Chain A
Amino acid sequence: MSRLAVGIADLRAAGPGEVLAAVGLGSCVAVAIRDPTRRRGALAHIMLPQQSEGLRRPGENMNKYADVAVTEAVRSLVGFGCRRADMEAKIAGGASIFDLGRGVEGGDIGARNVEAVVRALAGEGIRLLASDVGGREGRTVEYSVDTGELAVRTVRGPRRTI
């Protein structure tokens, strides 16, 4: 079984027998989508809610935005012959690592990322099966394309699978 690392602001697709991993998610969110019938999946490691927040510079890496990455992930899976109606999603991340205080700019970015991902999935008509979001702890996730299990690890908390 091969493990493919998905870095910050990255998006990767994988096939049968493969595991997609995102390491050290703080306020970032990992979005896992797969088509169980065709055993294809994708994992996005998003940083920001939507592209309208950026500067839209030419050559910008757009997969850091939740709205763009979710659409791209679905499109790449469709490109592998997956059916939108069969796709399912799980998400993890969106913590608030530092207590930056109320009203501090960027203090609620984790929660806003989660909201944006949920909205983008709904917009694409993808079912959200489970989520492990918020809190004060960073997460590492591993997504099995075969089983659809999303394993979540933290430094202090228990290991869980959603």
Chain B
Amino acid sequence: MSVFELIDESRMDILREISTVGAGHAATALSQLTGRRIDLEVPRVLLAPVQDVPRIAGGAETVVDGLYFRILGDARGVILMIFPEESAREVVRLALGGRRVPPEDPLSISAMCEIGNILTSAFLSAIGQLAGLSLIPSVPGYARDMAGSILDPVLIELSRLEDTALVIETLFREAGEGIRGHFFLLPDPHTLEATLRAAERAGSPRGGS
């Protein structure tokens, strides 16, 4: 099954709606965690050649903090969160109550993982509720490295099945521009179908109770 066979315009809309709700919950969680108002842009849902994904993420050589989660439960897929370096330091500083720690400090790494856990759980529980699926994030993998290498495990996994990636991308932004983050959801094409079916059965999220 190819993603092209699965995705038409109306299904793109469903994905956009589901993601908007999920990202809204995640943004709220991040606001509460940092004590700052975090806005989010309406998520982009795009089909892109695997080779183009590093550029979408801000360039293959840009140094970023990356968190990698597998989706467990009723669907499979991968979530990758990418924070540009300065944003990552700022999120960690706010989460630690104003304390500055170097990025390689275990305290910083554990704070990043915790932030990732909270955002991913908020996102997945919201879309799981809409789609009637139980979705649980795995323990995160963390790395601070070039965006290209952070994306590698995800793109490699996808490219076993596809040369095209379905990317659901959300940009978080603090009003003061101190924090920016990319949230990439890359569903496995086999389970994308199951998720869409469940969402279609559950009805449009906009009209749902």
Task: Give 1 or 0 for each of A1-33: 1 = CB within 8 Å of chain B CB.
Answer: 000000111100000000000011111100000
CB of B152 within 8 A of CB of A140, answer no
| Segment at the interface with B among A97-105, A116-124, A143-151 | A97-105
The CA-CA distance from A150 to B141 in the complex, in Å, is: 30
Residues of chain B lying within 8 A (CB to CB) of residue A101? 139
CB of A48 within 8 A of CB of B68, answer no
The number of chain B residues touching the other chain, given as a range, is 20 to 34
The SS class assigned to the A binding surface is loop
A77 at interface (Cβ–Cβ under 8 A)? no
B39 at interface (Cβ–Cβ under 8 A)? no
Most buried by A among B60, B61, B66, B151: B60
CB of B51 within 8 A of CB of A98, answer no
B175 at interface (Cβ–Cβ under 8 A)? no
The number of chain A residues touching the other chain, given as a range, is 20 to 34
CB of B141 within 8 A of CB of A7, answer no
A45 (CB) vs chain B CBs: closest residue? B51
CB of A26 within 8 A of CB of B159, answer no
The CA-CA distance from A26 to B143 in the complex, in Å, is: 11
B149 in complex: contacting residue of A7, A48, A95, A106, CB < 8 Å: A95
Interface residues of B (CB under 8 A from A): 2, 50-51, 54, 60-61, 63, 66, 68, 139, 141-153, 155-157, 159-161, 163
